[in-house]
Amino acid sequence: MPEPWWKSAVIYQIYPRSFADTGGDGVGDLRGIADHLDHLAWLGVDAIWLSPIYPSPMADFGYDVSDYCDIDPTFGTLADFDDLLERAHAAAIKVIVDWVPNHTSDQHPWFVEARSSRQAPKRDWYVWRDGDPATPPNNWRAAFSDEPAWTWDAATEQWYLRLFLAEQPDLNWANPEVVEAMHGVLRFWLDRGVDGFRMDVIHALGKDPALPDWPDELAGIPASALNDHESTHGILRDLRRLLDGYPGDRMMVGEVYLLSTAKVAKYYGAGDELHLAFNFPPLYAPWEAGPWKKRIDRTFEELDPIGAWPTWVLSNHDNPRHRTRYGGSEARARAAAVLLLTMRGTPFLFQGEEFGLEDAVIPPERVVDPGGRDGCRAPIPWTADADHGWSGRDPWLPWPPEPDARNAATLAADSQSILHLYRRLLALRRASPALRLGSWQALEAGPDTLAYRRAAGDDERVVILNYGDAPIAIEGSAADTARRLVVQVASDGRGEGRLFDGTVAGSAAVVLGKGET
Ligand code: GLC
């Protein structure tokens, strides 16, 4: 049996509001994505994941959905979506859409009905509790604020649960009608031809029916980062059966926002739940060898025994970009690209990391996200022109730093740019069975380094990363293996095509192999 596509794929996250605008309103749209498929094909990604594009009041910029089966006019129409899907497939790029099953918008007709009276047929599609308006039903906290995870509905005099904003009431997945309705949503998109789903806060769907308090020491953590109830696994097995009933290896990758790889591992089930799960502890690791080694070891220790395939993410729309987190250095961002694209597992890129973008500086009067995540969501500069390829109005958020230099056109014209580094790494990965699906073995290379060997059959690659700022001569088990290999890609371009000389520059990484590439 050939391995499913998503194991060897590199998946590129698009945050549609900020990718490319054709409508002239300063907000990106589906046509903008279609217009830039050539960039993605040239870069060499296998699939795109679109953050939510559905009708939404945008309290959480699309993660508050008011209709799961349509497109928000800001982004275009269903016809635009079909066109994008067709053009992406023609370019051999798969398309994954975001699915937000834990909560709807408070403007979704389901919630409008549910809220209308205690007797409303859809009342039980959400989670309601009695109480007095001064005392929330339990000590759960919402995300993005210090507020309780409950909102008092004055008209019907009950609390409703919302792990995020008050505008995002939680659905009641214990109600079979909710399950059926949400399965219908998946079928709607599967029938249209999507290749899979990124499933938002998937670990939160099943809740302890007693909704008990968290112990005091956990009570300050948002409930959405704690909820880990058994009942979610049955929900996931049903979703898996639904997807597997379609031809073509449709895939679901779940956002399991539990900051423990052991907990994340459970959401793969016995190969009958999520195909892939995000594992965020590495994203939160500092730019240091020790913490990275620990998190990599932990990932393989937890996932390998159960046959689960890892994922690797450095940046997304919820966290400061990794270049920013790692101190702003381009050298580190380049070394990080080598790490991300040579790991064993499925890498996820976030739009703009191939341009070495940092977070935008957002002046207080332009902050729009309730969770303070605007910086990483800044628009993508496509050209060096004044409008950076964004037709018409200024974009909805300020530009990231140095858009005159860090834009697609300028970087494409420079063969030494970080953009070309990403492209070469993607090409190397695609051509190498060892990097795509091969084994992973740790090597010793000395202090401040991370080194590993990837192998499949005769194909062998060695990766050495120097986290320190000073150049190093490598030692240990990596040294002997490495000296007979050729530098295929160096994050700083040094020594490419030559026999490895045993040294790695500060904040740099190399990929070594038997021949030139
Ligand atoms: C996920 C999304 C985030 C969103 C939240 C609520 O964590 O990644 O952007 O705000 O869920 O839907």
Mean pLDDT value of segment 168-187: 98
Choice among 80, 195, 200, 353 that is catalytic: 200
Going from the Cα of 111 to the center of ligand 1, the distance in angstroms, rounded, reads 19
Q: Is 3 a catalytic residue?
A: no
| 311-347: pLDDT as tens digits | 999 999 999 999 999 999 999 999 999 999 999 999 9
| 214-254: pLDDT as tens digits | 999 999 999 999 999 999 999 999 999 999 999 999 999 99
Q: Which of 96, 106, 164 to mutate to test the pocket of ligand 1 (most atoms within 8 A of CB)?
A: 164
Mean pLDDT of the residues in the chain: 97
Please check whether the two domains, 5-103+176-427 and 439-513, share a CATH topology. Answer: no
Quote the pLDDT of residue 477. 86
Mean pLDDT value of segment 289-308: 98
Q: Which of 106, 197, 200, 319 to mutate to test the pocket of ligand 1 (most atoms within 8 A of CB)?
A: 200
Query: Which DSSP state fits 103?
Result: B
Quote the pLDDT of residue 517. 72
Confidence band, pLDDT 50/70/90 cuts, at residue 478? confident
- How many whole angstroms separate alpha carbon 319 and alpha carbon 315? 7
Q: Shortest CA distance to 466 belongs to which of 478, 454, 484, 455?
A: 478
Going from the Cα of 14 to the center of ligand 1, the distance in angstroms, rounded, reads 14
Percent of the chain with pLDDT strictly greater than 70:
100
CATH 2.60.40.1180 fits domain 439-513: yes
Q: CA neighbours within 13 Å on the CB side: how many for 168? A: 25
Q: 510 forms bridges with which residues in the sheet?
A: 464, 490
Strands of the 128-129 sheet, one edge to the other: 128-129, 158-161, 150-153
Q: Please name the residues in contact with 510: beta carbons below 8 A apart, sequence gap of 6 or more.
A: 338, 463, 464, 487, 489, 490, 491, 495, 500, 504
3-state secondary structure 211-255: CCCCCHHHCCCEHHHCCCCCHHHHHHHHHHHHHHCCCCCCEEEEC
Residue ranges of domains in the chain: 5-103+176-427, 109-161, 439-513
Q: Where are the beta strands (DSSP E) in 264-403?
A: 276-277, 311-313, 346-350
In angstroms and rounded to an integer, the radius of gyration of the C-alpha atoms of the chain is 23
**CATH number at 109-161:** 3.90.400.10
Q: Look up the CATH architecture of domain 5-103+176-427.
A: Alpha-Beta Barrel (3.20)
Inform me whether the pLDDT recorded for 379 exceeds 90: yes
- How many whole angstroms separate alpha carbon 222 and alpha carbon 320? 19
- Decide: 422 and 55 in contact? Cβ < 8 Å: no
For helices 78-90 and 176-192, what crossing angle results, to 10°? Answer: 60
Quote the pLDDT of residue 516. 74
Q: Is 432 exposed, middle or buried (0-12, 13-18, 19+ CB in 10 A)?
A: buried
Pocket of ligand 1 (CB under 6 A): 60, 63, 100, 164, 200-201, 255, 257, 317-318
Mean pLDDT value of segment 26-41: 98
